[in-house]
Amino acid sequence: MKRDVGDVSSLVKDVSVILLDIEGTTTSISFVKNELFPYVRREVGAYLQSTWDTEDTRRDVAALTKLVQEDLKAGSSSSSSSSGAKPIPSTGDRQEVIVALEACVGALMDADSKAAPLKTLQGRMWRRAYREGAVTGHVYEDVVPALEKWRALDKRLYIYSSGSVEAQKLLFAHSCHGDILHYFSGHFDTSVGVKVEAKSYNNILSQLGCRGEQVLFITDLEKEAIAAQEAGMRAVLSVRQGTAPLTQPCPFPTIASFCELTQGDSDAPSTPKRPRVEAEGKEVVKGDIQKDGNKNINTEEHKNIKKNERQKNEGEGKEIVKGDIEKDGKEKESLLGDI
């Protein structure tokens, strides 16, 4: 169930921190699914081959090997892990190990694993891809204007994604709108906990040094919104193309664009314009102000008022034209004044 736009935009006014998910919120799900993930599957073998002797890759290989071994011990099968990954040989020909690692990465991705070793490797590969121009980060058109408005309102902006902090920074530093990384005060990944558990959001609150009601979390997944709410945060669900269907009735306010959260954020009432006075010294007489905003100029009533005022001021050698426009029956104002 979608709440009134006014109610949604008021949520921003009541918080000091806005915490954003990426996939399905700031960025198209199809970008991650159709560009980032296929790049890893396609290039992981070549990447490992070219970086095999670096410290980063040695750590990544060790972490992936340990992950699969622990998964195998926890499961009942000795031939493959619960994710489908096969054991990685600890010794042998480099190419043989790389082939096993390729299969491991593919199996983990097939299982939609959020394991830190996988995310770290993906992040390093995307760093190369972004820097070489092989990929450009997608960010919805409505996101950057919203970030600008919120920063102008002194809101602190943070990202919380299952992707590594490095992957997050790369996406926003190499986005289709240029480098927009400067809008964010910080980033969180699964090192604070998984996104469907309330304790993860409590960890974030602890690091931010604020109370739950001071934070608005925007995500496309109900389970994440529920976890954030359990930690005391406010939550809004992002409904974009490709996002998961929502429970009906939905227990959270929903948006299809960040524009719905920025309406009225910086809109101050405009100063009423004064009526134009003719330069030639002609009289300007405003007519009756109607409820629909139209004006009746020089009505019979105002002609009589004009005549009376002239008679009163004949001895002063000048004409003063005043009307009897009243505000709530209390205050009379000049027809030439602010209305």
Between 272 and 190, the more confident residue is 190
89: confidence class by pLDDT, cuts 50, 70, 90:
confident
Summarize pLDDT for 92-124 with one digit per residue, the tens.
Answer: 789 999 999 999 999 999 999 889 899 999 989
Q: For all residues of the chain together, what is the average pLDDT?
A: 80
Name the residue among 191, 207, 162 with its Cα closest to residue 27.
162
What is the tens place of the pLDDT at every residue in 154-175?
999 999 999 889 889 999 999 9
The confidence score (pLDDT) of residue 121 equals 95
Predicted confidence (pLDDT) at residue 53 exceeds the cutoff of 60: yes
Residue 90: alpha-carbon gap to chain centroid? 44
- Of the given ranges (42-56, 91-105, 180-194, 280-294), which has the lowest mean pLDDT? 280-294
SS3 160: strand
**For residue 17, how many other CB atoms are within 10 A of its CB?**
22
**Strands 331-333, 325-327: pairing kind:** antiparallel
Q: For position 84, what pLDDT does the model report?
A: 64
The proportion of the chain whose per-residue pLDDT surpasses 90, expressed as a percent, equals 62
pLDDT for res 7: 67
Strands 186-188 and 234-238: unpaired
| Percent with pLDDT over 70 in the chain | 73
Whether pLDDT at 339 is above 50: no
134-152: per-residue pLDDT in tens? 999 999 999 999 999 999 9
Residue-wise pLDDT tens digits, 308-327: 554 444 444 444 333 333 33
- pLDDT tens for each residue of 186-209: 999 999 999 999 999 999 999 999
Catalogue all structural domains in the chain, each as residue range(s) with its CATH number: 5-27+137-262 (3.40.50.1000), 31-131 (1.10.720.60), 288-333 (no CATH)
In terms of DSSP H, where are the helices of the chain? 5-13, 29-31, 37-51, 55-74, 94-110, 116-131, 143-152, 165-173, 198-208, 222-230, 259-262, 300-312
322, with CB counted inside 10 A (0-12, 13-18, 19+), is: middle
